[in-house]
Structure 1
Amino acid sequence: MKLSNRTCKVWLSLVGLAVLAACSTAHRPAPVEDRSAQGKAPTAPMSAAPAQPEASKPLPGAENAGKPGYYTVQRGDNLTRIGLDHGQGWRDLARWNNIANPDVIEVGQVVRVTPPGSAVESTGVVVRPVAQNGQSTPQQTNAQPGTSVKPAPVVTPAPVSEDIAFAWPASGSVIAGFDEAKNKGLDIGGKAGDAVLAAADGQVVYAGAGLRGYGNLVILKHNSTYLTAYAHNQKLLVKEDQKVRKGDKIAEMGNSDADRVKLHFEVRRQGKPVDPAKFLAAR
């Protein structure tokens, strides 16, 4: 049977379509894997990975923690405050502890607060009260049971000077008395610019505004026992390491870091605040 030309063309077209459909089905491309940020699982940034702990480095002076004559730095401390609380100048503390930058000390750091070689550093010896025969009896605390220990030498505390006669540092009236918990000195009223005078001969161990709550502050060291502090000044007239005489004008009264014009005056005995009124002549 002969097919017409038209029929043949139609038949061939149908065959061609079938072949194309088969090929299309056999070679359909695989699905595309989404590798964009949307399609892949999130990756944690490098900084979010837990850091490997570094070997802990002991803080300076840690081997002296708890020993007599040493102090462990607390939060908020600086050398000026540590010195004031222990009857020392900050420069001495920096020198004794080889601190190159006095503005950088760390919480937990242990600093020497007594001069090298001072009696208080004697370890293992407790000095008992003087007995009736006038001899103090040291107690060796690090002796091992059953061992013979050579008696430690008697430690005689250095005599404490009590003979300083302090003068009033300002002429105004006392507006707030001493309170060991709330006010560590006397507050003396006056006018801005009134003279602030050295209460006794001494050396300036601090002059500045680096101690919070004191404003412009001068600290004088009079001997190994006593310091005096003069706070809230409007102007300081002395420099550190300068020697002054009793009655010298060292500052002008002001209200720096205070609610009114006044002089806050402290007497520190071996770093501990004591009532200045007990050292000043009655008015």
Structure 2
Amino acid sequence: EPPPPATPIRAPAPQEPPPNWADGEGTPLSTYALQPGDVQPFDPANLPTTHRVSADESLYDIATRYQVPLRALIDQNNLEPPYALSAGRELRLPPPRFHTVARGENFSEIARRYNVDTRSLALLNRMQAPYQVRQGDRIVLPAMARAIEVTPPPPPTPTPVVAPLPIGSGQFAWPLRGDVVARFGAQPSGGRLDGVEIAGREGDAIAAAADGEVVYAGSDLPSYGTLILVSHADNYVTAYAYARRALVREGQRVRVGERIAELGPRAEGRPRLLFQVRRGAEPVDPAPLMAAP
């Protein structure tokens, strides 16, 4: 008996390639994207002013329908928990709020200003990317959106500007190297200063302004810290206040430039030396008597 005929081998049928989404074949994904009209079915700039509650309608349903925050709807109608609504009740809807686009302002900046997500704000306004706006356009804002107030930092406290001291006779040397932050005489605060104040750093050396004898070194006057008084020729006395400690003792002879104390801290600000010159009991302006710094 002859063998049965062989079954012919057929090549598999060619398969259709999958759709090329990049070339536009098939249904584009954008078809399934949320569209502005799906979210806000009403003109956001002309929302109804009221809504009549239908049967089985909740406050959440109404808020979702008009895309307004629940809290805004509650506040607008003075509702109390548990916020139950009866059919036929008329609710007031929050009025729309607007922002007018300023010159040079873009949509993302407006969203940040009101702390609103950019896409959410775009959907509320039925806008599609790239969200172009022009000066004068009105952007509808969510009912409870508020502009973020940016408080500018306080201006820095100005450093007092003191006019340069004139070069004096050179009778006295400067007891501390530093900026003169207060001059002799009437002060802007209304008080009076019987000397000059020189800024420095805590621990800086205070030097005798001229040859003389220490007549006082102590802290019996708390408002002056440690105070040193030095007697000089021609009935002059120099005073050095706001020191943290004295380096000399009463009755000791000192030479000009010799260290007599260390500058102390100041509770109300930068350390500074109060330097006074007296002739007899009368305070005098040190500036005309000082050497060049």
The TM-score, its normalising length taken from structure 2, stands at 0.39
Q: Which has the larger radius of gyration?
A: 2
The TM-score, its normalising length taken from structure 1, stands at 0.40
